[in-house]
Chains A and B, each alone.
Chain A
Amino acid sequence: MNSKFKNLKFIAPFIVTAALLVTVPYNMGGCAAVTSQIGEAVGGKQGAAIGNSVGKLAENESISEKDEQAMGESVAMTVTTRYPIVKDQKLNQYVTLVGLTLANASRRPDGNWLFAVVDTDEVNAFSGPDGYVLVTRGLIRQLRDESELAGVLAHEMSHVLDKHGLAAVKQAGRASALASLTKVDERLSAFSQVTDSLTDTILVKGYGRDQEDQADADAVKLLISTGYDPRGYLQFIQRTAKEQHGSTSIMSTHPGASDRAVKIRKRIDDSKALTQGAVLRERFEANTKR
């Protein structure tokens, strides 16, 4: 895999990140179209039941915390089955410590935050509802210091805190579809098929533009409130933008890194952070064996 391709793929965490391994196209305004797609995806009588139910319930249903937990667990199991967790306790602990440092300054310090590095050269990161955050070894290699790692984790954690994955499910009426099925086997079947469908979706699509922007904005806030230098995250996105320049890859339907870098820079300037914040290059290098 050449370097350019790697860098195109690495942006996935920010565009495709997955607070559910699920995302929605950002032109998803019409719920009706989505509703029929779900019915088609599931297929058969059950599919019809799901499709028919969505329009009636989608706007009023909420996703319970147990549902959120089940989705997060499913995402984590899907990712770690595909990519095993690295057998490097030091690295995993380091990423966990950075993540928990951010968590302590977040609005959910008592959340179910779990972090780990998965063993693949692919450059990517995933976050599942309820606090599961996974980054790839390939992504770690792209980073230069702890503030950049903190930026990636803060972005992922913001997707969790803002419940973007659940929003995607609700927006698509998928949770309502599950609610309408009362038999255990039907619910499991629907859950399985919907989750499969969503997993496929995230590999080629991404979060909506607004959700990515919101996660960037919230990441900057979290970095500043924790005490990390938010400019590390900006530098990382800027490097990505250079690699991405001129590409017509999957990024074409998502916000480009250049646009995001401009917005992130403005957010940092607007924040008027009094302190520069921690960068910690040496500690990062010592813990990631560079």
Chain B
Amino acid sequence: MTRRRILPAILLAALATSAQAEDVWIKRSADVRNDPSAAGDLVVPVTKGQRVHVLERNGSWVNIDVNGKTGWVSADSISTREVKADTDLIGRGSGAEMSSGAAIKGLQPIAGDYAEKRSLSKAGLNEMLALKKTVTPKMLKDFVAEGSIERPARR
């Protein structure tokens, strides 16, 4: 292909992408997953009020771009209208001061401090997180198929 043909093709592709591109807001916290499945691995968590970019829609799932990271969230988790972020009651401010007990990734500082104060073990929480990672989207898909678990047709 000559350079004369390549350039318009690139421009057209860029235009097509931008035409599909859609900025939306996260209306509730969600785990952006690497697969459109509840068993998909976490790519990045998103929180209410965050602005993200829609790349593709696939049924009830939407592929989004979050600051360069892409993954899937439920279509119910986004809004085309601007959504404002929460004001935290418990966790607001002073995160650094309260983070001594937050040994688990994603553990809220006050929950970590609560665990320290009440001598609660974080092992169970870690086990739950590790357990979830052992279940892959393929396992879930096979599990559903093996059990012939079929969603009824919409009426």
Contact = CB atoms under 8 A, between A and B. Distances in A.
Interface in A18-75: 61-67, 69-71, 73-74
A228 B149 contact: yes
Nearest to A77: B120
A114 interface: yes
Interface residues of A, number: 66
A43 B149 CA distance: 53
Contact of B152 (A70, A97, A224): A224
A175 B60 contact: no
B108 to A, nearest CB: 4
A250 interface: no
Contact of A188 (B114, B127, B135): B114
Interface string B102-121: 00101111110111011111
B151 A188 contact: no
A116 B128 contact: yes
A276 to B, nearest CB: 10
A191 B131 contact: no
B121 A77 contact: yes
B128 A65 contact: no
B38 A109 contact: yes
Interface size class for chain B? 35 or more
A277 B124 CA distance: 33
A192 interface: yes
Contacts of A204: none
A81 B125 CA distance: 9
Interface string A68-90: 01110110111111001100010
Contacts of B111: 69-71, 73-74, 77
Interface in A107-123: 107-116, 118
A184 to B, nearest CB: 5
B114 A195 contact: yes
Contact of B37 (A104, A114, A187, A274): A104
A93 interface: yes
A239 B46 CA distance: 42
Interface string A98-111: 00110111011111
B121 A70 contact: no
A65 B155 contact: no
B134 interface: yes
Nearest to A113: B38
Contact of B47 (A65, A103, A277): A65
Contacts of A104: 37-38, 140
Contacts of B132: 96, 113-115
Contact of A66 (B94, B97, B108): B108
A204 B126 CA distance: 29
Given A64-B89, A85-B128, A101-B149, A184 B98 contact: yes
A80 to B, nearest CB: 2
A103 B12 CA distance: 40
Contact of A178 (B89, B113, B127, B128): B89
B149 A76 contact: no
Interface of B: 28-33, 37-39, 47-48, 60-61, 72-74, 76-77, 86-91, 94, 97-98, 104, 106-111, 113-115, 117-125, 127-129, 131-132, 134-135, 139-140, 143-144, 146-153, 155
Q: Which 6 A-B pairs have the closest CB atoms?
A: A80-B124, A64-B86, A70-B108, A73-B111, A103-B38, A179-B89
Interface of A: 61-67, 69-71, 73-74, 76-81, 84-85, 89, 92-93, 96-97, 100-101, 103-105, 107-116, 118, 132, 146, 175-176, 178-179, 184, 187-188, 191-192, 195-196, 224-228, 273-275, 277-278, 280, 283
